[in-house]
Structure 1
Amino acid sequence: MDGVVNAIKSLSKDLGQLYAQLQNNVLSQQSGPSLTHALAALDPVQHSLGYLMLLEARGGPASPSHPDAAFVKLAADFIRDCDESQIRVAKEQFVSMCRKLKDHLLLLESPRRAVLPLRTALGKLAESTTLVTPLHADLCQVCVLSKCYSAALPVLDLEVDDVDPKKTAMTAKDFLLFGYYGGLVYTGLRDYSKALNMFLYTLTAPTMVVNAITMAAYKKFVLVSLIHAGSFKGLPKYTPAAVTRSAKAECLPYQDLEKAYSKTDEDLRKAVNTHSQAFQEDGNAGLVKLALSARTMRAIQKLTQTYLTLSLADIAAQVGLGSAAEAEQHILQMIDGGQVFARIDEAAGMVRFLEDPERYDTANVVQRIDAQIQQSIAISGRLTGINQRISCDKVYLNKVGGKDRHNRMEDFSDLGTGAEQMAYQFNP
């Protein structure tokens, strides 16, 4: 290890050679005490690359069985202090080290302690705020496990739309998990529209083979669709055929629930009771309850289109609730959430429905509209840039050119060999 430390210090300015030399050295076979001693001899800022390689080995196997509090402290401090230009030379090792930090904290049952280090690490790994990294999924995961959903918003709300494995060591599994856990974050925040968009990242990713992540995202997508819109309109047309086929074959309980959702209360209760064990095993029992509650609230909203005043008992009877007290509880929740505007007379047991007080003519509304316009302009600019990069990409042009040549050869095949040769000569 003394030789490794000396090499790190002597090659600190030649990162490429240092990285190649450390890769050839089997650091994972070194003992924990020797690696700790070597780390103590290095400056985590000046020797960030070498420190990272040793620290990643110090973290142990990819799926640790016992927590290591000392490694957690070393990793958290290193993420805070490291030089981002150096750690980007060893992207895969940096991602691995961060995930080992997360795994050790999960073993310590402290996922919240991983939120800040992972968010800091994500910022140092990504060269731009629009770039998706493998750590996006890990950050969203710990935010979900610790129920600190809003801690992921500074990252998710940046409209990340660029995936480049060469810059971040991103894999297909990382992207699928990003869409899945990102959807869970927005679901926890009750922002169902954005949750559906995140789940679509996973469901519409190009694939020939469907995995468990995609099927889990589909189940959540169905339930969140019922909560948000009251129906499930199916997957987009650009969804891979393999995903559509697998969903029909493997997610029958959710399809039964979706079909019963628009039928009678009795049909819906039957579907829920029949598949309650499947919902429980999938961890979706809570979302099923929210879907049932949303259906009741949507029925109450329809009453506001017909009645100005209605008793709590009548509301309970018309929407299928057990008592006036349940109806009052639902209406209070809807008033608090801005889903309905009403005033309850508790003494008389009556509800008076009111008009929406918002006139959409305030400064706040103008600011929201302006923010959405600016966001649309920014997205349009990024799409233009992506289109320009693709149109100048040699690999893309070669593929398109190859297809064009093949099509032209087929077009001239009926004219004889001479015409085919002439066409190729003049327009290769």
Structure 2
Amino acid sequence: MAPAGSSSSGSEAISLEHLVQYLATTGQIQEDVNQTLRTFGTKDTREVILASKLPSGQDPLELLNAQNNTLGYLYILSARMSFPNTPPPSLPLIEAFCKDFNPEHARFAPDRVTALAKAMVQAAGENLKLILEPLRDLATRYPPTPSHLTTLHPIFLTACVTTRHFATALPILSSPIFNIDTSLSELSYNDNLIYHYAGGVAFGALKRWREAEEFLEICVTAPGQIPAAIQLEALKKLTLVQLILYGKATAPPKYTNPTLIRILKNTPYHTLAKAYPQTISSLTATISRDIDIFKAEQNLGLVQQVIQRAPRWLIRRLTLTYLTLGLGDIAKEVGIENEEEVRAVVVSMVESEDINASISVDGTVTFATSTAQFSKAEIDKAVAQAQAQSQLLQELERTMNSSKEYLVKAIKHKDDAWGPDEDVMFNTHPGGSSWTDENLYS
């Protein structure tokens, strides 16, 4: 069924009043509704009509229901937020739609869902935190499963990192991504890079270093003939995160683009990694000549945390050589003058199970071999997680192997490298401020 006043070709103009009457009719086939909304009127008038109010001055959204009339609501809402010189809808209307829309119906118009999310960010401006909740609802409810990556993921992560609401991103970040479906979103190579880079930044700001390492490494190792700028930024952060985690920068996977590794070797991040760990005074001297670079790239806060963690790694090294050592001797080895400060570091390392040691009354530290111990519940949980991940991977492999298109392309292009259509100069978020704020890691 087409709205009154329209034709099968969709070339005749119709009024917003007739369109709303059509949208409010129950029992519509959603594919037909989407086709009507996409083709009614002319290209030049379509968005104008959708962004308008009824002749009576009434808001058409007041006559539609976000759940029952999802597509109509979505088209009107996104048009009104994107069309120039049109007052945007109220925040409660946006929140209500993101909370109540029918995901299955919305998936008929993935481009409008993406447009709505981008318009929300644009309209919020400096008050980006106001739309975090509706953006989260949109990003969590729209995909058929939490393991599907959509264009909403990087948009939402961008907003979380920009506003420093890192914990708000955890419900999204905690679900591993296994599924890519371009019918859900017009995903680009850059969407994947931005999502994992932003996720690494968020985890790092929360001091969840292992997750930060995982996300940054995924960004760094994404295949491409020419590495994107965001991948180099991710590699710099990845190097610093690994110094915090392991006391050294680990060798990148063999499938990492060699150009990235070559570029990194000519940066102060590589110089710091080669010198690490040393005493705080030595490391401070090492970075002093490059301090302006760290500031300009807004990684100074993370670099400072790397330096502050150095004494722990120096103490860790001592456990490989000595069975007992006085606090004064440890202080000299790691470059800390105050024995009580050394005691506090040792106690902290014991509590976090970085080392197995005890301190006697006279200040003698006795090191013992650490033995990892796990409870049955922890082992059962790890096994269950491994089985679940294995099942997901098997399902993904079966899906890919059953795809004729995938198999044909895999055979045809097995020797070809693939990559982004263009480089990503990932310097700012949509609002214009830098994501890589050194204060994120302070």
TM-score by length of 2: 0.77
Q: 2:64 maps to which residue? A: 42
SS in 2 for 1:167: coil
Q: Deviations over 1:335-385 (max 9, x none)?
A: 45343455668xx78364465898726xxx222222221222222222222
**Alpha carbons of structure 1 residues 83 and 402: separation in structure 2 relative to 1, 3 Å:** closer
Q: Deviations over 1:48-81 (max 9, x none)?
A: 111011111222379x9x996x543221111111
SS in 1 for 2:326: strand
SS in 2 for 1:381: helix
Check if 1:392 corresponds to 2:402. Answer: yes
1:126 offset after TM fit, Å? 1.0
Query: Root-mean-square deviation (CA), in Å?
Result: 3.4
**Alpha carbons of structure 1 residues 375 and 262: separation in structure 2 relative to 1, 3 Å:** same
SS in 2 for 1:165: coil
**Alpha carbons of structure 1 residues 14 and 233: separation in structure 2 relative to 1, 3 Å:** same
Q: Deviations over 1:220-248 (max 9, x none)?
A: 11111111111123321112345445545
List alignment gaps of at least 5 residues for structure 1: 405-428
Confirm or deny: 8 A CA contact 2:50 2:75 kept in the other structure.
no
Q: 1:177 maps to which residue? A: 194
Q: 2:104 aligns with which of 63, 85, 97?
A: 85
**Alpha carbons of structure 1 residues 242 and 318: separation in structure 2 relative to 1, 3 Å:** closer
Structure 1 stretches of at least 4 aligned residues deviating more than 6 Å after TM superposition: 263-266, 356-359
1:12 offset after TM fit, Å? 6.6
Q: 2:352 maps to which residue? A: 337
**Alpha carbons of structure 1 residues 394 and 33: separation in structure 2 relative to 1, 3 Å:** closer
Structure 2 distance, partners of 1:401, 1:197, is 30
Structure 1 distance, partners of 2:257, 2:27, is 47
Aligned residues: 391
**Alpha carbons of structure 1 residues 212 and 30: separation in structure 2 relative to 1, 3 Å:** farther
Q: 1:236 maps to which residue? A: 253
**Alpha carbons of structure 1 residues 241 and 67: separation in structure 2 relative to 1, 3 Å:** farther
**Alpha carbons of structure 1 residues 235 and 129: separation in structure 2 relative to 1, 3 Å:** same
Bigger shift: 235-244 or 23-32? 23-32
1:45 offset after TM fit, Å? 1.6
**Alpha carbons of structure 1 residues 23 and 247: separation in structure 2 relative to 1, 3 Å:** farther
Higher helix share: 1
Confirm or deny: 8 A CA contact 1:91 1:125 kept in the other structure.
no
**Alpha carbons of structure 1 residues 47 and 302: separation in structure 2 relative to 1, 3 Å:** same
Bigger shift: 126-135 or 349-358? 349-358
Confirm or deny: 8 A CA contact 1:67 1:108 kept in the other structure.
no
Check if 1:255 corresponds to 2:277. Answer: no
Check if 1:144 corresponds to 2:161. Answer: yes
Structure 2 distance, partners of 1:390, 1:330, is 51
Structure 2 distance, partners of 1:189, 1:284, is 15
1:87 offset after TM fit, Å? 1.0
Check if 1:198 corresponds to 2:225. Answer: no
Check if 1:360 corresponds to 2:370. Answer: no
Q: 1:302 aligns with which of 317, 320, 324?
A: 317
SS in 2 for 1:327: helix
Structure 2 distance, partners of 1:31, 1:49, is 12
Q: Where in structure 2 are the equivalents of 1:19-418 lying within 5 Å?
A: 19-24=34-39, 26-29=45-48, 34=53, 37-60=59-82, 70-105=89-124, 107-108=126-127, 111=129, 113-248=130-265, 252-262=267-277, 268-305=283-320, 306-308=322-324, 310-311=326-327, 313-340=328-355, 350=363, 352-353=365-366, 360=373, 365-399=375-409
Structure 2 distance, partners of 1:38, 1:245, is 58
Confirm or deny: 8 A CA contact 2:401 2:407 kept in the other structure.
yes
1:269 offset after TM fit, Å? 2.8
SS in 2 for 1:220: helix
Confirm or deny: 8 A CA contact 2:350 2:356 kept in the other structure.
yes
1:334 offset after TM fit, Å? 3.2
Q: Which has the higher contact order (CA 8 A, sep 6+)?
A: 2
Confirm or deny: 8 A CA contact 1:344 1:350 kept in the other structure.
yes
List alignment gaps of at least 5 residues for structure 2: 1-15, 415-442
1:304 offset after TM fit, Å? 4.2
1:134 offset after TM fit, Å? 2.1
Structure 2 distance, partners of 1:280, 1:3, is 58
1:91 offset after TM fit, Å? 1.4
1:34 offset after TM fit, Å? 2.5
